[in-house]
Structure 1
Amino acid sequence: MGIKFDVFDARDLLAFPGGDNNTDTVFGGIHFNTTTLKYWNYTYYSNQTLSNGSECWLTFPPYEPQLLLTNGSFVNATSCYNSILPIRSRGYTGIGFAVFFSLALVLTVTLLAKHGALYLPKERRFYPIGRRWQWYWACFVCACALVSLFTNVDIDRYYLQELPIIVSVFFWFLMCQGTLALTWEAVRHWGSWLERQYVDPNPFICRDGDRRSQIEFWMPLWFYFWLWMNFFLVVPRSWNFASYQRSPDQTAEYAIPSATGGRFKAAAFCLVIAWLTIVFSLRHSIKHYKPRNRGIFNRALGLIRAVPLRFILIIPLSLALIAYQAFISFVWEFSIIRFDGVVSVIFAWGFGPSLLILYIQITYGYASPNEDKELLRQRRERGDMINRELGFVKKPAWWRRVRGEHLGTLRDKILSNVNEVGGERGVGRRVEDDMERHAREEAARNALDDNGSIELSSIHHANPSANPRVDRAGARAVPTSLPYTGKNERRHTERVVQTAASVLFPSDIETQRAQRAAFLMEIGPAPPPYTDQQRRESDAGHPVTARRTNSTSTTNSFNGPPQQVRSMLDI
């Protein structure tokens, strides 16, 4: 068993009750030897307990010891630090508040999942954890409040105060710090959300490194500095003073001076500075990210209108919680450290503001959408507005389904686009210029006019004695290219349609292009790539047949006569 040092005033000491003789005493009808009790330094106190500084026992029925051994131990004794009393108003009220805090914890976790989800890529200026901190602190507040509230049951039931009162008060102070941090993160993130909406249409509207950004960088550090000052003034200390309420004299000498000491007063002052930082952060966000008003009256009215309703509620509530912490550092009567304090004040003023702040935040969380989704909605609205200004009408949702654009994968869509522009020419092939295309189309029209067909055979076997087609300038229209003979049926169909259209709807530009082609070809086409043998056969009047050889010999090219260049088309 751990050693406990019970602190009692000398005025709490009582003499052992008289017994049969000078060495006999009676507790609850049981006789004990006073010599053995004095040998082991047992002292009888006014609260009907027997203690020697390390162990404490109850002496009233039905918890009195049954036997005292010579080694100073008792048989069938009950410790002073047991839950033997019934639950009173503090315990019942604590259980009721704990139910509401438990429900708030469950709802907060669901809101953390809702508002913490990402639907847009992460941005360097707006980290996802920034929007989640207010819900993290809300979970922290709920957890601390539950521990503090459930231990109120043992505060009522313990005969002498010990660990329960220490745990309850310790976690209550942590709950106060978490509540203020929750309020700060709600206000800070609201300003960050305003900035995100402000810069989303134009990311360069705010300069980096200006006074605004410097203030937004240092404000969180300033706030948490004072919050941690409150933590270091309150938490790292001996908390046994809270349990020194075992008698009126002990309470007056140990508990009250410690509970109303300078450290608790200074800690409350640190929270006041942190609260003023929250107000300044709210004013800063409204100044830079809300429309400005001119005039003192209009500016004050605009400031009130710009503050969200939840901040109008939670900022005064957080101030009320700070006021209670400062108040109990001066007045012991209503202090939460007092185990038999005023229950209505302790819970209404000590736990009420935190509970209301939590449920205000929960209401806001369910009423507001996820910020990424809201940003996407705003972008769609801006896009629709720009489309209306430009006169662009967006197709309805059923348009893609009617056209069949919703079918197939991205690869299929790319393949369809390639087929539309034609995929016959490979990479590295020379692109056909406009002059060549028009000359080829004119040749196809000439073949269609002469033979009624655009086949290649009609061009090769046309009767040379027939009257050639003569343009307005008297030049003969010579076909400069062959019609399309590829395997792409779609392109073949397009060429036929184009040829028919040119016949039905002739134009002067086509005639000019044909004249230009005839002028380029008036001195004759380029000689065919005949070999020496083929040239001799052609001169003899024999039909020329193209021969293909795999030989790499250059003898013929050296022995044959040099080619006579007649125009640039021969090269």
Structure 2
Amino acid sequence: MEPFLQARDIIPFPSGDNSSDTLIGNSHLNLTTLEHWNYALFTNQTLSNGSWCLLAWEPWIADFVMPNGTFVNATWCWSPVNGIGERAGVSIGFAVLFGIALVLTLVALNRHGRLYLPVTTRFYPIGRRWQWYWGIVVSATAVVSLFTAMDVDRYYLPELPLILTSFFWFLMQLGTMAQVWEAVRHWGSWMERQFIDPDPYALRDDDRRSRVEFYLPLLFYLFWWLNFFMIVPRNWTPIQHQRYSEQVVNEAIPTATDARFKAAGFLLFVCWCITVFSLRHSIKHYRPRNRGLINRFVGFIRMTPLRFKLLLPIALVVPAFQELVAWKFDYSPLNLEGDRAAIFAGGYAPALLIMYIQIVFGFINANEDKELKRQRIVRNQQLDQELGIVKKPSWWARVNGEVVVPGESMRDQLVRNVREVQGSSKPRNDAAPSPEDGVPMSPLSPSVPAMSPATSPPPPVYTGRSERIRQERAMQAAAEMLFQQNRDAEAERRRRAQDLMVDGPVPPPAAAAITSRTVPPPPPYPGAGGRDGSVAPSVDSRLSSQQPPQQIRSMLDV
């Protein structure tokens, strides 16, 4: 470690009781031991040998020094022994405001991140939440930077707190630009979602518009990460070397104003330009178009939402101030004695204003899913008005008995609907229709005989807990009632086919005996052909003449 002060800042040790004793702050220390370990007394009231630094005034001076160079009750130079200064007082106030913004951002995230519609692959829920995630990052990094700034004033010699407050300040700047970018990008996505909700095929997925929207986030975060790598991975130790003027000039200022910090500010400005271009792209494709250069500029200003009219100019201060401190060390947060007004007005105030603007509009704007549902209802009402459709009021169903009875099963609802089809709206106490009820199906068949319980008994009433079986039983009962006419027609067809099989001469007993042994059974009525196509003669033709003539009942008998 390099010495903290130059040789001309060294002062001689005060004389003590004898030649091997020195009196420093009412503490007698062994002068021989101090000289053996190369300790020197400096004008800033510190005792140091280049590796260790101790405070050398009351009440922080050591009580005793051992021959091996160990001090008893000593206080290091990097200790918070000073009171809260101007930087610390303002930092506490800003930290409280950022803490409140953090809580409100969480509320806004819950408000806008909740889903009320099914998720689609084209619009992921995380897209609308990113701006609030970055708001949480901004608030957290700002609080850490501001709380560590309090120790910058309290430490006697600058050390780790100065590095921490500067490090998290740069992270806060990155988070602020990402928050503004995500707000603008998501607004364009929200415009697209409203544009294609009435017609999903209104916009193509492979045109120039979609390609630009795909590459813009990649381009933004490319420059965003370049800014990160220009600032974060570096040697931060020279920043804390501000213990005397020569050290500040030779180490702190060259490090805080090097080419990497200058390039980082320019890269952040490129990110701001990409954000403005994204807003212009969204207005061009999802807002009414204007022709002419002047009209386009006026339309761009007029179509820009109020939130972005406030956010973008404030966000421009972020890269501008970062570039300023890379050239002027007097206004830099890395400067131990920097201008306090410039540091808080240009370094922390823009991020705080952006946070609260986002929060205010987050509470004003509704959830996107709810807004989309409202727009769908308005469109449906407009379509109903154009088609002349007038929906019945809510009391219409109650007056006409269409209210679902509490505790009514699916079977009871189907039975009630069947009675309404029959033309009887009189309520019944029983849950199922009696066999005497008729079911008129259409004007062509005004009445159909009731279904006989013997031929088609109703299914038993299910009393179990399975809702699926209960619904199946109810559907079965309704099907039996609604399609009773089809079952009667099927039974009539089977009866006629059976009559056709019975009509005609009865085969003789001999033929029946032969059939039971080896010969294949004869055809059921005369005239049927054998396997070789020949016509088998009648076994007893006289029986056919003795039978009464066949009565033709329908075309099926011919």
Tell me if structure 1 keeps the 8 A contact 2:11–2:43.
no
Structure-to-structure mapping, 1:297-446, within 5 angstroms: 297-402=294-399, 403-407=401-405, 411=410, 413=413, 416-417=416-417, 438=444
The sequence identity of aligned pairs, in percent, is 47
Distance change >3 Å, CA 137–CA 415, structure 1 → 2: farther
Distance change >3 Å, CA 407–CA 167, structure 1 → 2: farther
Match of 1:570 in 2: 557
Tell me which moved more, 216-225 or 293-302. Answer: 293-302
Distance change >3 Å, CA 393–CA 28, structure 1 → 2: same
Structure-to-structure mapping, 1:46-445, within 5 angstroms: 46-402=43-399, 403-407=401-405, 411=410, 413=413, 416-417=416-417, 438=444
Tell me if structure 2 keeps the 8 A contact 1:148–1:168.
yes
> Does residue 1:484 correspond to 2:433, yes or no?
no
Task: Letter of the 1:484 partner, please give it.
Answer: P
Tell me if structure 2 keeps the 8 A contact 1:19–1:31.
no
Task: Letter of the 1:267 partner, please give it.
Answer: A
Q: What CA distance in whole angstroms lies between the structure 2 residues aligned with 1:163 and 1:390?
A: 73
Alignment coverage as a number of residue pairs: 464
- Give how far 1:107 is off: 0.4
Gapped regions of structure 2 (runs ≥ 5): 423-431, 434-439, 454-495, 507-520, 526-539
Q: What CA distance in whole angstroms lies between the structure 2 residues aligned with 1:533 and 1:216?
A: 83
- Give how far 1:164 is off: 1.0
Q: What CA distance in whole angstroms lies between the structure 2 residues aligned with 1:287 and 1:335?
A: 39
Q: What CA distance in whole angstroms lies between the structure 1 residues aligned with 2:4 and 2:503?
A: 134
SS, match of residue 26 in structure 1: strand
Tell me if structure 1 keeps the 8 A contact 2:47–2:56.
yes
Distance change >3 Å, CA 74–CA 371, structure 1 → 2: same
What is the CA RMSD across the aligned residues, in angstroms? Answer: 3.1
Q: What CA distance in whole angstroms lies between the structure 1 residues aligned with 2:59 and 2:404?
A: 84
Q: What CA distance in whole angstroms lies between the structure 2 residues aligned with 1:377 and 1:317?
A: 33
1:301-323 Cα offsets, whole Å, 9 max, x none, are 22111101111111111111211
- Give how far 1:181 is off: 0.2
- Give how far 1:406 is off: 4.6
SS, match of residue 301 in structure 2: helix
Distance change >3 Å, CA 415–CA 320, structure 1 → 2: farther
SS, match of residue 120 in structure 2: coil
Match of 2:6 in 1: 10
SS, match of residue 158 in structure 2: coil
Task: Letter of the 2:246 partner, please give it.
Answer: D
Distance change >3 Å, CA 416–CA 63, structure 1 → 2: same
Tell me if structure 1 keeps the 8 A contact 2:14–2:24.
no
Tell me if structure 2 keeps the 8 A contact 1:30–1:66.
yes
Distance change >3 Å, CA 163–CA 284, structure 1 → 2: same
Tell me if structure 2 keeps the 8 A contact 1:36–1:70.
yes
Distance change >3 Å, CA 81–CA 6, structure 1 → 2: farther
Distance change >3 Å, CA 177–CA 569, structure 1 → 2: same
Match of 2:425 in 1: none
- Give how far 1:485 is off: 3.8
Q: What CA distance in whole angstroms lies between the structure 1 residues aligned with 2:419 and 2:2?
A: 94
- Give how far 1:76 is off: 1.6
Q: What CA distance in whole angstroms lies between the structure 2 residues aligned with 1:72 and 1:395?
A: 96
1:469-491 Cα offsets, whole Å, 9 max, x none, are xxxxxxxxxxxxxx634479xxx
Task: Letter of the 1:320 partner, please give it.
Answer: V
1:75-117 Cα offsets, whole Å, 9 max, x none, are 1211111111110111110001111111100000001000000
- 1:19 corresponds, among 10, 15, 20, to 15
- Give how far 1:10 is off: 2.6
1:234-293 Cα offsets, whole Å, 9 max, x none, are 111121122111112211111111011111101111101111000000000000000112
1:424-447 Cα offsets, whole Å, 9 max, x none, are 9xxxxxxx999xx85x76xx9xxx
Tell me if structure 1 keeps the 8 A contact 2:41–2:48.
yes
- Give how far 1:298 is off: 2.7
Tell me if structure 1 keeps the 8 A contact 2:500–2:557.
no
Q: What CA distance in whole angstroms lies between the structure 1 residues aligned with 2:497 and 2:93?
A: 108
Tell me if structure 1 keeps the 8 A contact 2:5–2:42.
no
SS, match of residue 499 in structure 2: coil
SS, match of residue 329 in structure 1: helix
Question: Who wins on radius of gyration, i.e. which is larger?
Answer: 1
Tell me if structure 1 keeps the 8 A contact 2:242–2:248.
yes
- Give how far 1:52 is off: 2.5
Q: What CA distance in whole angstroms lies between the structure 1 residues aligned with 2:157 and 2:269?
A: 35
1:541-571 Cα offsets, whole Å, 9 max, x none, are xxxxxxxxxxxxx999568749858573425
Tell me which moved more, 188-197 or 28-37. Answer: 28-37
Task: Letter of the 1:129 partner, please give it.
Answer: I
Task: Letter of the 1:256 partner, please give it.
Answer: I
- Give how far 1:355 is off: 0.4
Q: What CA distance in whole angstroms lies between the structure 2 residues aligned with 1:284 and 1:150?
A: 40
Distance change >3 Å, CA 400–CA 175, structure 1 → 2: farther
Match of 1:470 in 2: none
Q: What CA distance in whole angstroms lies between the structure 2 residues aligned with 1:100 and 1:173?
A: 19
- Give how far 1:26 is off: 2.9
Q: What CA distance in whole angstroms lies between the structure 1 residues aligned with 2:404 and 2:169?
A: 59
Q: What CA distance in whole angstroms lies between the structure 2 residues aligned with 1:335 and 1:532?
A: 113
Tell me if structure 2 keeps the 8 A contact 1:532–1:556.
no
1:316-339 Cα offsets, whole Å, 9 max, x none, are 111112111110001011111112
Tell me if structure 2 keeps the 8 A contact 1:40–1:72.
yes
Distance change >3 Å, CA 154–CA 114, structure 1 → 2: same
Q: What CA distance in whole angstroms lies between the structure 1 residues aligned with 2:415 and 2:3?
A: 89
Distance change >3 Å, CA 399–CA 298, structure 1 → 2: farther
SS, match of residue 32 in structure 1: strand
Match of 1:519 in 2: none
- Give how far 1:63 is off: 1.4
Tell me if structure 2 keeps the 8 A contact 1:7–1:244.
no
Task: Letter of the 2:224 partner, please give it.
Answer: L
Q: What CA distance in whole angstroms lies between the structure 2 residues aligned with 1:223 and 1:407?
A: 60
Q: What CA distance in whole angstroms lies between the structure 2 residues aligned with 1:152 and 1:527?
A: 102
Q: What CA distance in whole angstroms lies between the structure 2 residues aligned with 1:407 and 1:284?
A: 55
Distance change >3 Å, CA 415–CA 241, structure 1 → 2: farther
Q: What CA distance in whole angstroms lies between the structure 1 residues aligned with 2:224 and 2:344?
A: 23
